[in-house]
A and B are shown apart, each in its own frame.
Chain A
Amino acid sequence: MGVIFWGGFNTAMEYTNTEEFCTGCHEMYDNVYVELQPTIHFTNRSGVRAKCSDCHVPHEWTPKMARKMLASKEVWGKIFGTINTREKFLAKRRELAEHEWARLKANDSLECRNCHDFEYMDFTWQSKRAAQQHSTALASGEKTCIDCHKGIAHELPDMAGVPGWD
């Protein structure tokens, strides 16, 4: 009985983390998924890639559960169509982006670090400016990944007023 519940629970957790689940909504497919496709996190030389949950859902248990509960907001959005047209999406893009930037800023770009482990970064393999930036601002903790790497996966919103961008 417990096994069935636990198995079912975990199956649901895993399923709601798949790319096909997230892109099942046209709001996601036609907007952010299409924007993701030409980027390095989607397709690249090695084929190592990120799916939606790799960046947007924490790996650790408690933050993951918290995020899954917050996902009810997305269900609401789907039901009430908060971004169900291109125009509505574009109007909300900046706000949605800011939510994600704030989340990553608050957890020190935890999701980035799930794959890009700073302790194992070899600066000798990086380009000059990458090595320069990573070994100073990132190493000291003054900056976190999302501070510079905004727009790495989806297109940037209107950046007027964003520090470092205007």
Chain B
Amino acid sequence: MQRVDNSDVKRARAYPMQPPIIPHKIDGYQVDTNANQCMACHSRRQTADSQAPMVSVTHYLDREGNFLADLSPRRYFCEQCHVVQVDAKPLLNNEFVDIDELLRAARDAGE
């Protein structure tokens, strides 16, 4: 079975709104109505203790864009968006072009 990347090293985002990947193992982490184990380190109050990146402010917004006092229920289940990484060979060639590359190419072409 593949080993999950547990290096705690942050990676560059593929696009600005990309949910950052999880750079550590999450085996058995409980995220249900009783407890959210991710938030035990990544909540606003715990970051000083854990040194883990805090959940972004977007996670406090409700559907209308109002700020809530605590984590929005629509963002409660972290793993719907955030994933761990394994060191696996891509099955297909990745032809994704970053917006930065496009902008750079446009700027170079414009010169």
- Residues of A149-166 at the interface with B, using a CB-CB cut-off of 8 Å, are 151, 155-159, 164-165
Contacts of B6 in A (CB 8 A): 127
Name the segment of B23-31, B54-62, B74-82, B100-108 touching the other chain.
B23-31
**Does B34 sit at the interface, judged by CB under 8 A?**
yes
Q: Which residue of chain A is the closest to B49 with respect to CB atoms? A: A164
Contacts of A77 in B (CB 8 A): none
Bound Cα distance from A133 to B106, whole angstroms:
47
**Does B40 sit at the interface, judged by CB under 8 A?**
yes
Task: Check A157/B8 contact, CB under 8 A, given A39-B28, A164-B40, A164-B46.
Answer: no
Q: Is the CB of B8 within 8 A of A129?
A: yes
**Does A63 sit at the interface, judged by CB under 8 A?**
no
Contacts of B34 in A (CB 8 A): 155-159
Contacts of B24 in A (CB 8 A): 127, 129
Q: Is the CB of B28 within 8 A of A40?
A: yes
Q: Is the CB of B27 within 8 A of A127?
A: no
Bound Cα distance from A148 to B50, whole angstroms:
10
Q: Please, how many residues of chain A have a CB less than 8 angstroms from a CB on the other chain?
A: 17
Contacts of A132 in B (CB 8 A): 51
Q: Which residue of chain B is the closest to A143 with respect to CB atoms? A: B49
Q: Is the CB of B35 within 8 A of A128?
A: no
Contacts of A129 in B (CB 8 A): 8, 24, 50-52
Bound Cα distance from A24 to B78, whole angstroms:
37
Contacts of A7 in B (CB 8 A): none
Q: Is the CB of A156 within 8 A of B8?
A: no
Q: Is the CB of B28 within 8 A of A38?
A: yes
- Known: A158-B33, A159-B35; 6 extra A-B contacts, CB below 8 A, are A127-B8, A128-B8, A129-B50, A151-B30, A158-B34, A165-B40
Give me 23 A-to-B residue pairs in the complex whose CB atoms sit less than 8 angstroms apart, sorted by A's number. Answer: A39-B28, A40-B27, A127-B24, A127-B25, A129-B8, A129-B51, A129-B52, A132-B51, A133-B50, A151-B30, A155-B30, A156-B30, A156-B35, A157-B35, A158-B33, A158-B35, A159-B34, A159-B35, A164-B46, A164-B49, A165-B35, A165-B39, A165-B40
Chain A residues packing against B (C-beta within 8 Å): 38-40, 127-129, 132-133, 148, 151, 155-159, 164-165
Chain B residues packing against A (C-beta within 8 Å): 6-8, 24-25, 27-28, 30, 33-35, 37, 39-40, 46, 49-52
